[in-house]
Amino acid sequence: MIYFDHAASTPLDEKALEAMMPYLKEDFGNPSSVHGPGREARNAIERAREKIADTLNADPREIIFTSGGTESVNAVHKGVTWAFHGKARHIIISSVEHHCVLECSEWLTNQGIAVSEIPVNSEGWIDPKEVQKAIRQGETGLISIMAANNEVGTMQPFQEIGQMARQQGILFHTDAVQGYGKIPIDVQRDHIDFLSVSGHKIYGPKGTGFIYQRRGLEMVPLVHGGGQERDRRGGTENVAGIVGLGEAARKICGETAERARLRALTDLLLGDLRKRFPDLKVNGPEKADQRVPGLLNISLPGIEGESLVHSLDAKGFAVSSGAACAAGSAPPSHVLIAMGRSAKEAKQGLRFSFGHSNNEGQVKQLAETLPSVIESLQMMSSFLEDDEKPVKK
């Protein structure tokens, strides 16, 4: 199987696994215990916290460990909203946010919080001017805009939006699950108050993630317990997972050359496919430097993305038709709908996302296989259409 679905999940990095092993075996102490094994576990967590803080130009005390991106987003949106004490009853998001943001916002709406969704252009880009227009003076308490889109890769102007929010005294959160490690993020320079990251998207272990929370800001805990994470997230810490997350974060944020290599792979695939399929459409920005490295979403008119996913899987290629959490569901992509595609067009999206294990040979192999797969699907579609025609008597 050739794996082209790194936006859904990445394999665990060998160095991360190596760092985790002692804490899965002999160093099993509870980090809240004061004896030797407990102190060693606590020190391992704090070393990981420092590694992650260094990647963001943050203070280690501003990092909160969680179970992943979804928990991180929920903790920020709900925790910050609860901390308003009714003083700010309005938040701003975009129409292309991840499902966890959209569904969390829907839940908050049922709790009496007003939510404004900012539209995007045909490439999935958010205009900061539209964010500015949506601000309600004295009411807007939080703006939450993703750093990069998980389906089409569009990099958002989160730095400009963060600056705008800071100038107006509004808190700013960015879902950086798809952007962290792929694009430069500096929480000081970019005026970020809260940030969410998932471990398994950056070659770390599943079930890990973190929140950046700027010092001095209030956030009511989503999970109460024994005072862990400085009373910000209760429950015994996942020591091994946190250690692996710290090592994965340190490594991926230093891979400048790898980002350029991944971008070149998407350019190679797109160029080859365009020669074979002149009617191919790119979903997202045409310019590769406006998408996160290694992600390409295309549509081939007349062919459903999910059908291509199954057919390519049978040929030994793992790809996606959109967000992993929505795979296999009937509704068309909400991201492509927001970008102005029809419901039919929104079901034609096919996402390729490259990672460490991919190379030019694999990309060429994919490009050579796709025409026969499409031909088979077209023949099948034609056969089914003929079969559905009424029989003449």
Q: CA-to-CA distance for 186 and 74, rounded, in angstroms?
A: 22
The CA-atom distances, in angstroms, between 223 and each of 60, 66, 79 are: 20, 10, 10
Q: Which residues pair with 297 in a beta bridge?
A: 351
Catalytic residue (one of 100, 104, 253, 325):
325
Torsion sign across C-alpha atoms 377, 378, 383, 387 = positive
Q: Six-digit token pair at 186?
A: 């500096």
User: Does the annotation mark 100 as catalytic?
Assistant: no
Single-letter code of the amino acid located at 191: H
Which of 310, 53, 368 has its CA nearest to residue 188? 53
Give me the active site residues, please.
325
